[in-house]
C-alpha cells in the first residue's frame, strides 16, 4: 500500500517525469535523498514501469485516430498468437485490447490519413482471417491522458 507521499510522487511524475528530484522532493516535503529512495522503491516494486516522452501527433504527421473493432470466429491460442505478432509489427497500432461482448478486439491507430489506414487494413487482412472489421475515425479528442488515478492504491 502506498502512503500519501508515494502517491504524490507518482502523481507528479505522471505529469512530468523530467522534474528534477530536488524540485520533486520540495513539492512532496522530503529530502532529496529520501525522495530518490522512494522513487527507486516505486520502480523496484513495479509501480513505475518506464519513463517516456509523449510526442505531439500533429507535429509528427499522424493526427488521425482510427478505432478498429474486430470480430473473429477463431478463438484458438494459435490465432491469438498470430494476431499478437501482426499487431506488434504495425507501428500505427498504438493500443490493442481483447474484449468481452460483441467485438473481440479493439485497436487504436494513429495515421496521417485514410490512405495509410487503408494500407494497414490491407496488411492485416492479408495475414489473418477476420469475421468483421469496423472502423471509426475520431472527429475530436475530448480527453486524452496517460495518468492513472492513484486513489485506489
What mean pLDDT is reported for the chain? 97
How confident is the model over 105-137, as pLDDT tens digits?
A: 999 999 999 999 999 999 999 999 999 999 999
CATH 1.10.10.10, the chain: domain bounds: 4-44
CATH 3.30.70.920, the chain: domain bounds: 64-137
Grid coordinates belonging to 16: 512530468
pTM assigned to the model:
0.90
Q: Which listed CATH number (1.10.10.10, 3.40.630.10, 3.10.20.30, 3.30.2350.10) goes with 4-44?
A: 1.10.10.10
Whole-number Cα distances in Å, 131 to 56, 73, 93, 102, 152: 34, 6, 20, 12, 38
Least Cα distance to 107 among 86, 81, 129 occurs for 86
pLDDT score of 44 = 97
Give the whole-angstrom CA distance, residue 118 versus residue 103: 20
pLDDT score of 1 = 81
Least Cα distance to 26 among 15, 14, 12 occurs for 12
How confident is the model over 60-78, as pLDDT tens digits?
A: 999 999 999 999 999 999 9
pLDDT score of 83 = 97
Mean pLDDT of 135-153: 95
**CATH no. of 64-137:** 3.30.70.920
Confidence of residue 139 (pLDDT cuts 50, 70, 90): very high
Amino acid at each position: 500500500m502506498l502512503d500519501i507521499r508515494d502517491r504524490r510522487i507518482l502523481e507528479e511524475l505522471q505529469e512530468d517525469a523530467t522534474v528534477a528530484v530536488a524540485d520533486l522532493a520540495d513539492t512532496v516535503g522530503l529530502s532529496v535523498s529520501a525522495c530518490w529512495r522512494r522513487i527507486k522503491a516505486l520502480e523496484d516494486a513495479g509501480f513505475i514501469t518506464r519513463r517516456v516522452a509523449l510526442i505531439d501527433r500533429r507535429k509528427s504527421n499522424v493526427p488521425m485516430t482510427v478505432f478498429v473493432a474486430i470480430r473473429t470466429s477463431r478463438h484458438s491460442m494459435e490465432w491469438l498468437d498470430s494476431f499478437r505478432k501482426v499487431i506488434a509489427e504495425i507501428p500505427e497500432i498504438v493500443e490493442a485490447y481483447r474484449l468481452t461482448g460483441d467485438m473481440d478486439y479493439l485497436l487504436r491507430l494513429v495515421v496521417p490519413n485514410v490512405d495509410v489506414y487503408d494500407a494497414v487494413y490491407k496488411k492485416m487482412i492479408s495475414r489473418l482471417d477476420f469475421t468483421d472489421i469496423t472502423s471509426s475515425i475520431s472527429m475530436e479528442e475530448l480527453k486524452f491522458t496517460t495518468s492513472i488515478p492513484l486513489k485506489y492504491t
